[in-house]
A and B are shown apart, each in its own frame.
Chain A
Amino acid sequence: MATGAHHEVEEVGVMTPATKPSNELGVGEVGYLISGIKEIGEAKVGDTVTETSDPAREPLPGYREPKPMVYAGLYPISGEDYPALRDALEKLQLNDAALTFEPETSRALGFGFRLGFLGLLHMEITRERLEREFDLSLVTTAPNVAYRVSLAGGDESTVRNPSEMPDPGTIEKIEEPQVSVLMLTPKEYVGPLMDLCQSRRGVLDGMHYLGEDRVELRYRLPLAEIIFDFFDQLKSRSRGYASLDYEPIGYQPAQLVKVDILLHGEPVDAFSAIVHKDKAQTYGRQMTEKLRQLIPRQLFDVPVQAAIGSRVIARETIKAKRKDVLAKCYGGDITRKRKLLERQKECKSKMKQISIVEVPQEAFIAALQVG
């Protein structure tokens, strides 16, 4: 009923678990229905099926479509794999109703998708399945949340890709998703956990002692602060004893800025991030330093900058390389030099060109890794 599509029922039956056709499926039975639906999109999970000749007035309640909490960009390393990735995502979505995706392009990464997940675990599993079950080599951007942006003219939009954040000059307000976090911990770790939450822009909602030794901590935190390594930090600060649960509690305005990363003056959209203004400096410094270490030296100096709008907040320079020549080239060196040159040629053909900077694939992927 959700799609309004009509199909001929070819067969009904029950699962035993093998399919066992029968003449009818009645109240209380669980089974299957085959009707020649060809398009994956026509079979929405939670939908109600009714007879064309005598349709029900209203669909059954079904279930609430799970809302994605965490987004990430997913790109095939080789552009040729794009159709294969698309097919794989469609197949995955068949038995994973919580997975959402839509096409996306990145100047740095090419054609790919923006995926929506229920959380980090969901993201990990999906990526793992895509790589293993469908044999795809993929690049994932750092996970991010969806922001609600109100523009000066009154328009509102949802931004799921950091690089799509509008010009700061046009923005009136940015709201970010908040969660209520419940932590259960032995009392000796309360201090470190409270520190952790405080450092993540958390607001204490309550603290209760459950018995002598256990404490229940409630905090309100921006979802964006949870999705990186909050869980890992929680576990390491509590030596594994603390537990974590959270649920969304709506959107809150916040002082957020978009930090762009520029390589030789050119912004690399894949590295853009939306961070709280107090954390912008740290993010900028970390990212520029990381890129300085990962990107090989070129024939010229390469400035790596972090900027908010046109204001540069951090800068590193990849100094031009001065020497790469082989000291000796005698009989025993010739074959080795030739093989090295072959490998380097191979590498060069796979280089990503960002402005006039050549970035090897591995460096690019490593730079995108979280952390």
Chain B
Amino acid sequence: MSRFGVYVHVPFCSSLCPYCDFAVVVGRGDMHERYCDALIDEARAQRDIPVATSLFIGGGTPTALSPPLLRDLIERLRAVLPLADGAEVTVEANPESVTATGLREAAEAGVNRVSIGAQSFAPQVLRALGRTHSAEQAANAVAAARAAGIGNVSLDLIYGSPGETMEEWTTSVRRALEEGPDHISAYGLTIEAATPFGKAVARGAMDEPDQDDLAAKYEIACAMLDGDGYRHYEISNWARPGFESRHNILYWTQGEYAGLGIAAHSHRDGVRWWNTRALGRYLEDPTNARDGSDALDDRERAEEWLSLRMRLIDGVSLDEAAARLGRDVRLAAEACEAAGLITLEGDLLRLTTRGMLLENDVTLRLLSAVPVRA
């Protein structure tokens, strides 16, 4: 069965985290139902949509919706958009809004994977990141998911938060491992200009995360996670074998997906497009919410293929890369190998840990075919 994903964006949050640049609506409980109705309208308007092998409800905080409303949303979506048997159905959740009963309702609607935004298990860091939950609540959320019978639990972690010590990071990773999740995502803090963190950095009130600190913390994560039964399958993602995120793999393999909701991105028939970030405009006509698009020519598609594929630790076939790009990248690859950024085993190019940290540079060199001398 060929893969296809459906992404649904639920923008509501109880508060705004200072680092977040997703399309988020704080509060507005009065809009929850209307928004869900709009999502269904948009779903109904989808043309020729293939059977979905994954459904991902992200946000915002999907669990900001009341459990009955969330369940109702999922059931209504499934009535309109066909899901394959055994499809992966993910819901993003925040520890403070997750209960076993709530997740059980979601599970009854078909949710079989929960991605919990833990971010850190160090109280100082949670505070610095503007999170409204405690480390205990994060641990409880995992337990709640298990109690609800959800067999695939993922934890999100962020490193490089302002003032975070090395100790606080290793503690977070250790605590996360202790919860026994099936999947862990670890992201280096990125400062986006249009966020409270971005503005603080711009006016000098906050330092940009130190790149060397981020690099060191990443290496620690790799060391702690790789050895503990998790397979490092994407630059920022680890999973027990078989528990890789089917939906997210679509992104890294130029797969196709339909995005519903504000700011949702879609990729079908060679075109990428995205919805408006404005809630008002979306609610007015959810079937007409496209805000921008990007159609690629052959060269751009081939280069996009490589830049996304590089994120998967499995490696890239040099022959396939050459065939798609229409030019040989072996010389550039060998130069990257000499610089310790990749390993080359026959036809297979794989990033080393150092190369993962410098993936942008590696991709750039392969695409520019500029040799690097170490």
Give chain A's interface residues, CB within 8 Å of chain B.
299-300, 319, 321-332, 334-335, 337-338, 341, 344-345, 348-349, 356
Nearest chain A CB to B171's CB is how many angstroms away? 20
| CB-defined contacts of A329 to chain B, threshold 8 Å | 235-236, 251-252, 308, 311
* Contact (A338, B187) CB under 8 Å given A299-B339, A322-B211: no
A-B contacts, 27 listed (Cβ < 8 Å): A299-B339, A299-B358, A299-B374, A300-B374, A321-B361, A323-B188, A323-B212, A323-B357, A324-B357, A325-B235, A325-B358, A325-B360, A327-B188, A327-B190, A329-B235, A329-B311, A330-B248, A331-B7, A331-B257, A331-B267, A332-B22, A332-B265, A338-B294, A338-B300, A338-B303, A341-B307, A348-B370
Which residues of chain B in 222-273 are interfacial with respect to chain A, using CB atoms and an 8 Å cutoff? Answer: 235-236, 248, 251-252, 257, 259, 263-267, 272
| CB-defined contacts of A345 to chain B, threshold 8 Å | 364, 367-368
Chain B: number of interface residues, binned into ranges? 35 or more
State in angstroms the CA–CA spacing of A327 and B358 once bound together. 11
Kindly identify which residue among B7, B190, B263, B364 contacts A328, using a CB–CB cutoff of 8 Å: B190
Which residues of chain B in 336-374 are interfacial with respect to chain A, using CB atoms and an 8 Å cutoff? Answer: 339, 341, 354, 356-361, 363-364, 367-368, 370, 372-374
State in angstroms the CA–CA spacing of A325 and B341 once bound together. 13
Q: Which residue of B lies closest to A328 (CB)?
A: B187
| CB-defined contacts of A322 to chain B, threshold 8 Å | 211-212, 215, 354, 357-358
**Known interface pairs A323-B214, A332-B263; 18 further A-B residue pairs with C-beta atoms within 8 A, sorted by A's residue number:** A299-B341, A299-B374, A300-B374, A322-B215, A323-B358, A324-B358, A324-B359, A325-B360, A326-B190, A326-B359, A329-B235, A330-B248, A331-B265, A334-B304, A335-B265, A335-B274, A344-B364, A348-B368
Nearest chain B CB to A2's CB is how many angstroms away? 53
Q: Which residue of B lies closest to A353 (CB)?
A: B370
| CB-defined contacts of B235 to chain A, threshold 8 Å | 325, 329
Q: Which residue of A lies closest to B306 (CB)?
A: A341
Nearest chain B CB to A327's CB is how many angstroms away? 4
Does residue B218 face the partner (Cβ distance < 8 Å to A)? yes
Nearest chain B CB to A53's CB is how many angstroms away? 68
| CB-defined contacts of A335 to chain B, threshold 8 Å | 265, 272, 274, 294
| CB-defined contacts of A341 to chain B, threshold 8 Å | 303, 307, 360, 363-364, 367
* Contact (A323, B218) CB under 8 Å given A329-B251, A329-B311: yes
Q: Which residue of B lies closest to A341 (CB)?
A: B307
Q: Which residue of A lies closest to B160 (CB)?
A: A327
A299 touches B361 (CB 8 A): yes
State in angstroms the CA–CA spacing of A201 and B66 once bound together. 79
Nearest chain B CB to A143's CB is how many angstroms away? 34
Give the 4 A-B CB pairs with smallest separation, nearest first.
A322-B215, A331-B265, A325-B359, A327-B187
Nearest chain A CB to B184's CB is how many angstroms away? 14
Q: Which residue of A lies closest to B360 (CB)?
A: A324
| CB-defined contacts of A334 to chain B, threshold 8 Å | 251, 265, 267, 272, 304, 308
| CB-defined contacts of A349 to chain B, threshold 8 Å | 368
Q: Which residue of B lies closest to A351 (CB)?
A: B370
State in angstroms the CA–CA spacing of A344 and B364 once bound together. 8
Which residues of chain B in 115-135 are interfacial with respect to chain A, using CB atoms and an 8 Å cutoff? Answer: none
B304 touches A321 (CB 8 A): no
State in angstroms the CA–CA spacing of A300 and B372 once bound together. 10
State in angstroms the CA–CA spacing of A228 and B189 once bound together. 44
Nearest chain A CB to B218's CB is how many angstroms away? 7
Which residues of chain B in 156-196 are interfacial with respect to chain A, using CB atoms and an 8 Å cutoff? Answer: 187-190
Q: Which residue of B lies closest to A325 (CB)?
A: B359
State in angstroms the CA–CA spacing of A99 and B357 once bound together. 53
State in angstroms the CA–CA spacing of A329 and B265 once bound together. 12
B215 touches A323 (CB 8 A): yes
Would you give the 0/1 interface string for B13-36, flagging 1 where the beta carbon is closer than 8 Å to chain A? 000000000100000000000000
